[in-house]
Amino acid sequence: MEGTSEVILRNETRMGTAPLLLVNPPRDGLVPALQSRPGLRAELRCSSQDFGDSRWLRAGGLDVRYEVVPTLAGDEGLVVLHLPREKERLAMLLHALATAWQESATAPPRLWLVGENRAGIKSAGSSLRRWFGRFGSLDKARHCGLWEAAQPLPVAPFALDGYLRDWQIAFAGREIRLRSLPGVFAHGRLDAGTALLLQVLERLRPRGTVLDFACGSGVVGLALRIASDAVVPTLLDSSALALESSRRSLQANGIEPDRDAHLLPSDGLSEVSGRFEWIVSNPPFHRGVRSDLDVAADFIRHAGTLLSKTGRIVVVFNRHLPYAAWLADAFNSVERLAHRGEYQVVLAAGPRVGGDTGRTR
């Protein structure tokens, strides 16, 4: 069980009996532990910005909403928010909650903000001060902290547009507009790895069905679609923030989601069906503040099953990661197409039957 969950359970008797909303809880024993205590509260609900987390929680019989920002039913007595690593994302979440409480006809609930020391929980007071009239540290343990806040201050109405960043890149002689939200990878900028990947793809000029795995703001799939009407992209991510950013990026370039491009929430490749002529990706290797290579390992292991007979996969990654060895285990043909600084781009084709990256993790 994560340290943040242990700190919450240490203070369980302070929760009260009114409905409880957990915002972005982890996949661990917290929810089962809370569910196992009958009579503690009337109802337990969750709001998650991660598709995989929401699916895991829903499988446990919980009332879960997969959404860009949390919404309230209005009868909550306590909202427990897990600290995101991005300060701007925290501000967005607090603003959304403060506005919801301001518009609620019932008394606003208490807020608990929980997080690890290395994620910045010690300085949470500076964020809470902007939105609440009363706040303070409630507990410290397991290298984590728990804050409580109440008395939300009057705030301007929340609008998602206020947290969007607009930026542009050039690809295949075209200007491409991007829009991104806090919490999305490389928010408001083109990172060096994806820039290298786009340079390679500009030479390769993919056509046909393309899966953009871990799409973020949608930059790769969008660029390929704008460069050629022959591209039919599917933009996949587990993050509701990423998919909303991708949707707005598509629309900013006159491309209609669900008609000219597809948006797909998925935990890894769990929701993917059909075959693709190209799979492109800058796969994630972090989950929160932790390194986590499981998503990339599963992606490399199973991506070949989604390729057409002549399909190819193009991946950019940091040289220190073991992805090249994993690709060699999973595909018959692996070729490094470019490298710059700490990044390299690899093309793979001819998936091996029974290829397995598990031994290299």
* Last residue of one domain, picked from the residues 160, 178, 203: 160
99 with 199, same domain: the answer is no
Number of domains in the chain: 2
Low-confidence spans in the chain with pLDDT less than 50: 286, 288-290, 355-361
321 with 183, same domain: the answer is yes
What's the distance, Cα to Cα, between the start and end of the chain in Å?
22
Q: Where are the beta strands (DSSP E) in the chain?
A: 20-23, 44-48, 63-66, 78-82, 110-116, 132-141, 144-152, 165-171, 174-180, 208-213, 231-237, 262-265, 276-281, 286-287, 290-291, 307-318, 331-340, 343-351
134 with 173, same domain: the answer is no
Whichever domain contains 72, its CATH number is 3.40.50.150
Q: What is the pLDDT of residue 361?
A: 30
191 with 143, same domain: the answer is no
Q: What is the pLDDT of residue 102?
A: 81
Q: What is the pLDDT of residue 224?
A: 98
309 with 214, same domain: the answer is yes
What average pLDDT does the chain have?
92
109 with 236, same domain: the answer is no
Q: What is the pLDDT of residue 355?
A: 47
15 with 102, same domain: the answer is yes
151 with 224, same domain: the answer is no
* Last residue of one domain, picked from the residues 138, 160, 182: 160
Residue with token string 């769990």: 270
* Last residue of one domain, picked from the residues 144, 160, 176: 160
144 with 27, same domain: the answer is yes
170 with 148, same domain: the answer is no
139 with 207, same domain: the answer is no
Q: Are 146 and 119 in contact (CB under 8 A)?
A: no
Domain extent, residue 96, equals 3-160
204 with 324, same domain: the answer is yes
